[in-house]
Homo-oligomer: A and B are copies of this chain.
Amino acid sequence: MPDCRCGCVPGSGRRTFLATMFAATAFSAAGAAEPAAPADPALLDDIVAANRILYDQGVVDGFGHVSARHDKDPTRYLLSRSMAPALVTSADIMEFDLDSNAIDARGRTPYLERFIHGEIYKVRPDVMAIVHSHSPAVLPFADTDVKLRPMNHIAGFLGEGPPVFEIRGTAGAESDMLVRDNKIGEALAKTLGSNAILLMRGHGSVAAAQSVKHVVFRAIYTEVNARTEIQALTIGKPDFLNAKEAAAAMKTNDGLVERPWALWKQRVMSK
């Protein structure tokens, strides 16, 4: 583990570049909580589309959220105010620092669990977008000791199976299960480690990736894979992708996310 002031995880391809950015922006962030320069409108468009796509594809319902790291300031992230994802517009997207303090809230209420996002962005400079959801078929894997593993190449990002976060370790055994402060968020981010996906016992899951399109891809196919793995487990003993197949498949698929994105976006934007 190298000495790394942003707590980044070794092995990220974009680590050196981002560590430099962190060092620079950390300085200005230490001043007043002023908004960063306006985010790229294309990024805001992607966040809005992601909210609607995740609903349309059954990953989020009235609950769940998707964020992106700010493209002008890596110590800030963008996340909707507290509302159903399917109804989000660009005017609902708020800016937060990495401690999840709202910048220029203008009366908008933030999600109670925004700390999931802030704490992961702190320690994973490679992560540019995060989804939190209660997508239904994933819950059986969060609540049992059965591993969620890739049934095919599309879910290669699952690797040898995501870790499971047990909130009792930080919040005790009488909590309301919510990641409602930075301390719990920090523990969650630690459990996530360098993985793409994290399961949360009694709660749901988190997906992390290098862009909004990639994280939407991962959140959707985590749910799709879970449904299929449950079916496989009821009839026999599935032969999953091994670790190297999973890694190779993830790399290939990371280059193909535009293909399903075009379809998913066309579905929600034509409504």
Contact = CB atoms under 8 A, between A and B. Distances in A.
Interface of A: 55, 61-63, 82-84, 86-87, 112, 134, 136-137, 139-146, 150-154, 156, 173-178, 201-204, 224, 227-228, 230-242, 244-245, 248-249, 251-252, 256, 259-264, 266
B237 A144 contact: yes
20 contacts: A55-B263, A82-B259, A83-B259, A87-B262, A136-B227, A137-B228, A139-B151, A140-B231, A142-B152, A144-B239, A145-B237, A146-B235, A152-B204, A156-B176, A176-B248, A176-B251, A177-B245, A201-B239, A230-B235, A234-B234
A262 B139 contact: no
A80 to B, nearest CB: 11
A151 B87 CA distance: 26
Contacts of A82: 259
Contacts of A173: 242, 244-245
A240 B202 CA distance: 6
B259 A62 contact: yes
Contacts of A245: 173-177, 202
A241 B136 contact: no
A222 B268 CA distance: 28
Nearest to A166: B239
A136 B139 CA distance: 19
Contacts of A140: 151, 228, 231-232, 234-236, 238
Given A176-B249, A260-B63, A233 B232 contact: no
A63 B259 contact: yes
A184 B21 CA distance: 44
Nearest to A226: B231
A141 B202 CA distance: 20
Contact of A176 (B139, B203, B252): B252
Given A84-B263, A140-B231, A146-B236, 8 more contacts: A61-B224, A83-B262, A87-B262, A137-B231, A143-B240, A145-B237, A201-B239, A202-B240
Contacts of A145: 236-237
B154 A134 contact: yes
List of 6 A-B pairs having minimum Cβ-Cβ separation, nearest first: A62-B260, A144-B236, A140-B232, A84-B263, A153-B177, A176-B248
